[in-house]
Structure 1
């Protein structure tokens, strides 16, 4: 294993230990609430990193699966009173929608550009649809869809088998971090399997992969469905740490995902998650400074736009590939210096008489 990979796993283990042990022990409720939102968006970024970075499928539809997961959770939870059932049902709904959408796109041999347009159009249609569901006729069972107000009365997840004991915010935070770690490990595991290697081969050269006997439609559909399920799980967590609303489908959500993946590093899993955390923290900080009046003239969106443009121009491969490249060069330089010193020392040694 490469030293950079070892360092990456060490840093990942350290970050996980900090998130799961240090943050809850601090008792900082605002930090944990924000951490829940960051972890939720991290799962969403991870879903696009998997389907775009490794399968070559530019999907704007992650916002669709994200929103459907949140709405399905709210509707099932309000009607059944079982939040555990609602969570699994919501993930299934998002995965099934991704399966059906992917079937029509991949079996229809839709090209990459049109695939992105179709998925974006689906997200915008859903956004428009849920915005106009404010009337009393837009009710599924006892669950009103609420129009642009969404469903703020969504039940919070409870302990399995104990519907009268909802999770506290700090427990939602720990759950969100654990789900993020689970999907990261799952994505890494999938990519190491035969299925994952074929998916990457299809991204590199789809025609050659098909000439070797692999049906690219099947593999694309599989990874697309998995990414849809991940986005649906993020929607469930978002419904618990914020609330369900049509904004989950909007263009801003889809564009943020693209930015996180591009800035973090296309073709990596940890990079988009890292970029998601950094940019969300920066956005929160700028909003706080702006609202406090210290820099009231400064537009946070303008600052973010300038920083993102600079990052793309300076680090076109993304932050994580840039960092790993620097570490690799340093390691090679240190290794070369040590080997050079060893050769010099050996050449100056004189044999004993």
Structure 2
């Protein structure tokens, strides 16, 4: 593996992530730690969309479907089995299996990209209406009542694996959530550097050429779609542990729109961009929610329009390009000085 600036950046991001992981509990209050946990959930959610859209070239307008499926699967499994370790497993597996089945019919059915976006959006709306109409004690899965629009309250908090009585504190949940975000980022970065990742990007750039070279574009798209859904499901599990409550609003159009804005603002075609976009905009939305003069969703729409018009690349690519230009100029200046020196 050849070491270059890209790998240097990857290592720098990992180090920064570890610093944040251990520094936050030392400098932030307990309330702040709880708020930081939802930032991690949104960062994970944005990362799932950023990978699928930025590298797989698949625009999913219904990413909230997988976030919600993961959250509900975690809650229902944890309530029925008691051990939240199984809940985490279900929260990742259920949306991944659902995406595998849905993606199979979409990609092997030769559905165009525009219709894939419409189908995923429609699935999100269907799930919202389905869960929203499950009010009443007759709608339950085992011991877990779905609750309809009221949602599922008192979702069990993460416990130590195999020890149901050892429930994690908010600080413990922060450590687990942030560690999972770092691990997922690292695994995606390594996957994109592998043959699989190079083929996925090649299909995004020119699907016909990749198929002529012998690659099954449908299979690679299906795998990317499934991986993205699993990551979104994991974000849903973290989201559950932040609020201890889950409702059908997680399937709503607002959640699907927010993640697209996170990715666009952070930077399409990067992994760190969606993470920073998710954290930054969620922080801004939290601040906007404390005032009553401007609707937070309206403000988010204004941010989207502004970035599309003024910074279409996103924050991270712009900063990266400016830094590269500055580095090149300084290198050229140093070379000229060396040439003119006696």
Instruction: Name 1:239's counterpart in structure 2.
Output: 240
Q: Secondary structure of 1:311's partner? A: helix
The number of aligned residues is 339
Instruction: Name 2:52's counterpart in structure 1.
Output: 51
Instruction: Give per-residue Cα distances to partners, 1:64-114, cap 9 Å, x unaligned.
Output: 111111111111111111111121122111110010000010110110000
Task: Rate the CA distance shift 1:90–1:25 in 2: closer, same or farther, 3 A.
Answer: same
Q: Does 1:323 align with 2:319?
A: yes
Instruction: Give per-residue Cα distances to partners, 1:164-186, cap 9 Å, x unaligned.
Output: 11111111111111111111111
CA distance in 2, matches of 1:124, 1:42: 23
Tell me if the contact between 2:192 and 2:198 (Cα under 8 Å) persists in the aligned partners.
yes
1:10-89 equivalent positions in 2, closer than 5 A = 10=12, 12-89=13-90
Match of 1:339 among 331, 335, 341: 335
Instruction: Name 1:293's counterpart in structure 2.
Output: none
Structural RMSD (CA): 1.6
Instruction: Name 1:124's counterpart in structure 2.
Output: 125
Tell me if the contact between 2:42 and 2:282 (Cα under 8 Å) persists in the aligned partners.
no
Match of 1:259 among 258, 261, 265: 261
Please state how far the C-alpha of 1:22 moved relative to its aligned partner.
1.4
The ranges of structure 1 where at least 4 consecutive aligned residues each deviate by more than 6 angstroms after the TM superposition are none
Segments of 5+ residues of structure 1 without an aligned counterpart are: 291-295
Q: Does 1:172 align with 2:173?
A: yes
Tell me if the contact between 2:14 and 2:182 (Cα under 8 Å) persists in the aligned partners.
no
CA distance in 1, matches of 2:52, 2:142: 35
Tell me if the contact between 1:127 and 1:246 (Cα under 8 Å) persists in the aligned partners.
yes
Task: Rate the CA distance shift 1:22–1:220 in 2: closer, same or farther, 3 A.
Answer: same
Instruction: Give per-residue Cα distances to partners, 1:195-222, cap 9 Å, x unaligned.
Output: 1111111111111111111111111111
Instruction: Name 1:282's counterpart in structure 2.
Output: 284
Residue range with higher mean Cα deviation, 250-259 or 18-27: 18-27
Q: Secondary structure of 1:20's partner? A: helix
CA distance in 1, matches of 2:296, 2:147: 30
Task: Rate the CA distance shift 1:7–1:65 in 2: closer, same or farther, 3 A.
Answer: closer
1:128-207 equivalent positions in 2, closer than 5 A = 128-207=129-208
Please state how far the C-alpha of 1:287 moved relative to its aligned partner.
2.4
Instruction: Give per-residue Cα distances to partners, 1:309-342, cap 9 Å, x unaligned.
Output: 2222111111111000110011111111111111
TM-score (norm. length: structure 2): 0.95
CA distance in 2, matches of 1:89, 1:170: 23
CA distance in 2, matches of 1:302, 1:249: 19
